[in-house]
Structure 1
Amino acid sequence: MNKNKFSIKNIPGWAVMLAIFGVLYLTGLHTEAIGQVQRLLLATGIKNADVPETLQNPDANAVADAAAVANSEMAGAGFQMVDLDGKQVGFESLKGKVVFMNIWATWCPPCIAEMPNIQKLYDKVGSDKIAFVMLSVDEAGMEKVKRFIDKKGYTFPVYMPAGQLPQEFYSNAIPTTFIISPEGKIVAKQEGMADYNTPEVQEFLQGMAGK
């Protein structure tokens, strides 16, 4: 009897995991798989987005101060974006609205993990006073981004840069999310994934929008 007969039971666990990951990588499914795991992490509530305490309940003085700078230059002034229909949009056209801007990419598992909750937030607060800018920095091109969005069924507005990102939107991490006031000032910045579909973020956005 051959004691060296091959058996799948003899394959080390690490080799099985390596093989599985290799298949996922070759098929392009590894990003989705990692994103799903990270989505479970978000569901625990330990990665909820931070809301600036000083802006949770803006008082009359804060509103007056904001009005005083309403005519100043907006963050991202001069920046041009392209939507998924190929239409060029100036970032400055959003001045006067609260802007929720998320910088993401299809190859980024944390980006994929937080997107379902961003869609839920958009469904709840998206309006003519609150604008969502889901800014893809994919270098593979617009068609890949469109396929991804269509596959997922997301309805929030998606754009791609038509030029270099303004310096104020640079970040050491992806995803990165910015919240910009109607006056064009960055009032919150979150690097890395987070759950934005929380009562705190909803109230924060609606409070700045005056709803």
Structure 2
Amino acid sequence: MVNKENSKERPRMEKLLRSIRNNAFSLIMGTALIVMLVNSDAKSFVLRQMMLTGLFNANIDEKDASEKSVGTKIDFNFEDENGTVQNTTSLRNKVVFINFWASWCPPCRAEFPSIETLYLTFKDNPEVFFLVINMDSKLSTAKAYLNKEQYSIPLYTSHGGVPKEIFSGALPTTIVLDKDGKIRFHHTGFANYSGDGFLRQIGELIKE
């Protein structure tokens, strides 16, 4: 009697094991997706791995016909960590890299190492200015995140309104201004700003 029961159970167990094996990939991917959706660090890690493919390398030469702001001038006020307020007009004759970001934003976290690399490459060049504008509710939160990750790029906040033509509220948003204050690059979403091509293009803007 026992042998008959065992013989009936064996096919059921084998079928169950086959089902688990066949669906293992789906289970793993489903679990990874859930983790990515609920965990900012996990999501930023996955996005950072995607950036390594090269598909998200920033390119100033690419012109998006739908991006009407390219070629126009912008002016707005910004404030440094000491409370000093400036206007972007004071940055004429410099190439200006502007990035709107927040520490809670996974795509912002994903691209930030590349921004830090870009900053370290040009930080000693007087013809380049990095205007990294934090959108956290508290600047101390952003500073704590940068300290934790050992990033050295300085932080700013917007002071008053920012033209909607360049920042609609989507994070991250990145703009590059030439020395005349004209927009030469405007991108919404994460990207890699440490690629050789982008570094070369920034160098070319400096020479203009």
TM tier, smaller:
0.7 to 0.9
1:88 shift after superposition? 2.4
Q: Are 1:36 and 2:45 an aligned pair?
A: yes
Amino acid at match of 1:52: D
> Which whole-Å CA distance do the structure 1 matches of 2:46 and 2:95 have between them?
31
1:99 aligns with 2:90: no
Q: 1:136 aligns with which of 131, 134, 137?
A: 134
Distance 1:96 1:192 in 2: 27
Shift, 1:34, TM fit = 0.9
1:116 corresponds to 2:125: no
Hey, which bits of structure 1, 4+ residues long, moved more than 3 A? none
Rounded to whole Å, the distance in 2 between the matches of 1:87 and 1:152 is 26
Aligned amino acid, residue 137 of structure 1: M
- Taking the aligned partners of 2:111 and 2:135, their CA distance within structure 1 comes to 16
Tell me the distance in 2 between the aligned counterparts of 1:17 and 1:41: 19
**C-alpha displacement of 1:21:** 4.3
AA paired with 2:141?
K
SS in structure 1 opposite 2:165? helix
Provide TM-score, normalisation by structure 2: 0.73
Specify every segment of 5 or more residues in structure 2 that has no aligned partner in the other structure, as ranges. Answer: 1-26, 64-71
Superposed displacement of residue 112, structure 1? 0.3
Q: Aligned AA for 2:93? A: G
Structure exhibiting the larger radius of gyration computed from Cα positions = 2
Distance 2:143 2:169 in 1: 26
Q: Who is 2:24 aligned against?
A: none
State the Cα distance separating 1:74 from its structure 2 match. 4.5
Task: Answer yes or no: is the 8 Å Cα contact 1:48–1:194 preserved in 2.
Answer: yes
Is contact 1:74–1:92 with CA below 8 Å preserved after alignment?
no
Q: Which amino acid aligns with 2:138?
A: G
Q: Could you tell me how far 1:17 is from its partner in structure 2?
A: 4.3
Q: Distance in 1 between matches of 2:165 and 2:155?
A: 20
Corresponding pairs, count: 172
Give me the TM-score of the superposition, normalised by structure 1: 0.72
Any idea what SS the aligned residue of 1:168 has? coil
- Partner residue in 1 for 2:56: 47
% same residue: 32
CA contact (8 A) 2:43 2:106 kept: yes
Q: RMSD across aligned C-alpha pairs, in angstroms? A: 2.7
